[in-house]
Amino acid sequence: MFENIVLAFDGSEYSRKALQCAKAIAERFEATLCLVHVFRNPSDLLGYADYEKLFSKRKSAAQAVLDDALQELGHITFTVQEELQEGLEAEAILKVAESCKADLIVMGTRGLGAVKGLLVGSVSRKVIHYAECPVMAVH
Ligand code: ATP
Ligand code: MG
């Protein structure tokens, strides 16, 4: 039933739980698991001398988050793809879901955001609203 699963990972405890769910489903269905992490372009600093430096710093920090996800997956029996994306989180997750023909998106209900009162984070809300495939929100 599931061939292409997208896991949106931000390093939060919620996304770690989501990772375990995505792993179990990918194993069960021998699906391809696409790990997505999105980082923001420091566009407000465009033109400043340090822009390039800051950009590459952000990019390598983002790659480290993906590496962490890969490590957390441990031993796997299915294909994994990595997608490091630059831009707005929900938009980038949806774009990857479309390009890899996702039939399931797995993510946390919340993430690293500081506002603890929210039931569902803004990235999850947007993805749930606009995705064209089922979304599993894990908490
Ligand atoms: P907010 O960001 O609105 O303050 P929050 O951080 O608590 O709230 P979200 O950002 O919506 O909640 O996080 C929900 C889920 O979305 C995370 O568990 C993760 O699966 C996914 N997600 C969030 N940010 C990213 C990101 N930068 N890259 C990939 N996935 C992400
Ligand atoms: Mg967040």
Cα separation, 130 vs 118, whole angstroms? 19
Ligand nearest to the CA of 126: 1
Give the domains, in start order, of the chain with CATH numbers: 4-138 (3.40.50.620)
Does 138 sit in the ligand 1 pocket, CB within 6 Å?
no
pLDDT tens, 6-39? 999 999 999 999 999 999 999 999 999 999 999 9
Model pTM score: 0.96
- 9-13, 37-41, 68-72, 113-117: range with lowest mean pLDDT: 113-117
Q: Output the pLDDT for position 24.
A: 98
Ligand nearest to the CA of 37: 1
Q: Give the count of beta carbons closer than 10 Å to the beta carbon of residue 53.
A: 12
| Nearest Cα to Cα of residue 4 among 24, 21, 29 | 29
Whether 1 lines ligand 1, by a CB cut-off of 6 Å, is: no
